[in-house]
């Protein structure tokens, strides 16, 4: 998987895993930092067209649908779906790495957990119960 999202401090960071880590910091440079993520895909094939910040992806989808309709491709225009929000990082990365996975995720979208909810460490949860 070449592109991968990571959640850090409440933001989504997109990394190209082909880039070597920095010799100084040991970290890769991120390609994108955003608070929410959007994925534009074909609802029938599950092919991802674009992913990234919701504003850019919504704009791309609107323009692409407009162009397709102007060319007489109404069905293709209607097949472009955009999913955005705080999506779980594991699901995002599966969408990027597994062909057609985004279509399966779309069918389960209502049951997915909030993407930015992190599991609390057990010690912190135990401490709160005792105090």
Residue 12 forms part of a structural domain: no
Residue 69 forms part of a structural domain: yes
* pTM of this structure: 0.81
Instruction: Dump pLDDT digits (tens) for 64-99.
Output: 999 999 999 999 999 999 999 899 999 999 999 999
Residue 122 pLDDT exceeds 70: no
Instruction: Dump pLDDT digits (tens) for 26-46.
Output: 889 899 999 999 999 999 999
Residue 113 forms part of a structural domain: yes
* Distant-in-sequence, close-in-space partners of 123: CB < 8 Å, separation ≥ 6: none
Residue 1 forms part of a structural domain: no
Instruction: Dump pLDDT digits (tens) for 43-59.
Output: 999 999 999 999 999 99
- Domain extent at residue 79: 36-130
User: Among the listed ranges 20-24, 96-100, 103-107, 119-123, which one has the minimum average pLDDT value?
Assistant: 119-123
Count of domains in the chain? 1
């Amino acid at each position: 998987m070449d592109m991968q999202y990571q959640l850090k401090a409440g933001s989504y960071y997109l990394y190209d895993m082909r880039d070597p880590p920095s010799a100084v910091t040991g970290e890769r440079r991120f390609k994108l930092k955003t608070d929410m993520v959007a994925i534009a895909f074909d609802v029938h094939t599950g092919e991802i067209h674009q992913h990234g910040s919701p504003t850019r992806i919504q704009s791309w989808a609107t323009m692409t649908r407009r162009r397709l309709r102007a060319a007489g491709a109404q069905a293709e225009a209607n097949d472009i779906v955009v999913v955005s929000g705080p999506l779980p990082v594991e699901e995002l990365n599966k969408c990027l790495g597994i062909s057609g996975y985004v279509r399966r995720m779309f069918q389960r979208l209502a049951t997915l957990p909030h993407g930015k909810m992190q599991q609390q460490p057990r010690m912190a949860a135990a401490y709160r119960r005792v105090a």
